[in-house]
Chains A and B, each alone.
Chain A
Amino acid sequence: EAQVTQNPRYLITVTGKKLTVTCSQNMNHEYMSWYRQDPGLGLRQIYYSMNVEVTDKGDVPEGYKVSRKEKRNFPLILESPSPNQTSLYFCASSPTYLSSYNSPLHFGNGTRLTVT
């Protein structure tokens, strides 16, 4: 089944403890991105990647790192999480970075992160 898989689905951690949220897609997509969803703010883009080894900042990249060493994986790293990073996180992928009919955006099921 074609899908974007995020893990974990829920995560509770403490301030300063490094964590990684994994994202994997099995559709050979070139484009992958991370969003955070907060009440009243909608979804905001954190980082995106147009292909392997090509990443770029979105609108809210502070406090996050990403890497794209292989096409299928795009992990989100929080080196020193803080309470203001408590949020719902989504990974998404698409065949290309072009937002065309032939290139719909596929979302993972989200990761609910709580930082205390």
Chain B
Amino acid sequence: AQTVTQSQPEMSVQEAETVTLSCTYDTSESDYYLFWYKQPPSRQMILVIRQEAYKQQNATENRFSVNFQKAAKSFSLKISDSQLGDAAMYFCASGGTSYGKLTFGQGTILTVHP
């Protein structure tokens, strides 16, 4: 069984500042992937960033980066230079190599203040 825990129900950040969203997971899979999805008020689910567990290098996508600590089973998302359009619900997810095993966290609502 897999579990994904996002311990911050809500976070806020000032525009142009940096914020980090936390995620911890537990899995029995030897090979797995980790994801961060963004859900704006439109309800769309948008993939922000993904990380293969076998890669030691942290993934980066423009202003979004992760801090992947495999031994600690931690996968936090850092958003740099926050923009108003970053305001959304963010979900962390963990899966084996199959989407059939994809498990989501509870979500963190991010508010960006101008």
Interface residues of A (CB under 8 A from B): 31, 33, 35, 40-45, 48, 50, 56, 58-59, 88, 90, 92, 94, 97-101, 103-105, 107, 109-110
Contacts and interface: CB of A to CB of B under 8 A. Distances in A.
13 contacts: A42-B6, A42-B91, A43-B104, A45-B100, A48-B100, A56-B100, A98-B97, A98-B98, A98-B99, A99-B102, A100-B97, A107-B44, A107-B45
B100 A110 contact: no
Contacts of B98: 97-99
B40 to A, nearest CB: 12
Interface of B: 4, 6, 9, 33, 42-45, 47, 50, 91, 93, 95-100, 102-107
- The DSSP consensus for interface residues of chain A is strand
Q: Which of A43, A48, A98, A100 has the most CB of B within 10 A?
A: A43
Contacts of A42: 4, 6, 91, 104-107
A97 B99 contact: yes
A87 to B, nearest CB: 13
